[in-house]
Amino acid sequence: MTDKVNMRITEVTVGSNDNPYDTRAITVSWRGDEDYCVKQGIRVWCERRKRWEAEPIPSGRTDAFIARTRYPFVQARDIAVRLMGKQLNEAAP
C-alpha cells in the first residue's frame, strides 16, 4: 500500500534567466488556501485593472486589495506567462 502524499506548489518563477534577483522575473506565489498572486518585485498584478499595484505589508492589505489580486493557481500561472511574453516582446529589437 502506498501512502498518500499531498503537495502544494508554493512558488513558480517565469523569467528570462535563472537569476532569482532578476527584477524582470514574474513570480506566482501562494498566499494561502487556494489563492495565488502574480508578483514582480514588490508589485502584484491586478487583472481587473490591468496594472501592477504595490503590495502593502500584510497588516495593510485590505479585503478589497486581496480580492482583486488573488487567483486560482492555473489563472495566476496563465497571467504570469502572458505578462512575461508581453515584456519580452516589448524588449525585442
Top pLDDT among 24 and 90 is at 24
pTM for this predicted structure: 0.80
Contact call for residues 53 and 62 (beta carbons, < 8 A): no
pLDDT exceeds 70 at position 80:
yes
pLDDT exceeds 70 at position 20:
no
pLDDT confidence of residue 24: 77
Q: Report domain extents, the chain.
A: 11-91
- What is the rounded CA–CA span in Å between residue 50 and residue 12? 21
pLDDT exceeds 60 at position 93:
no
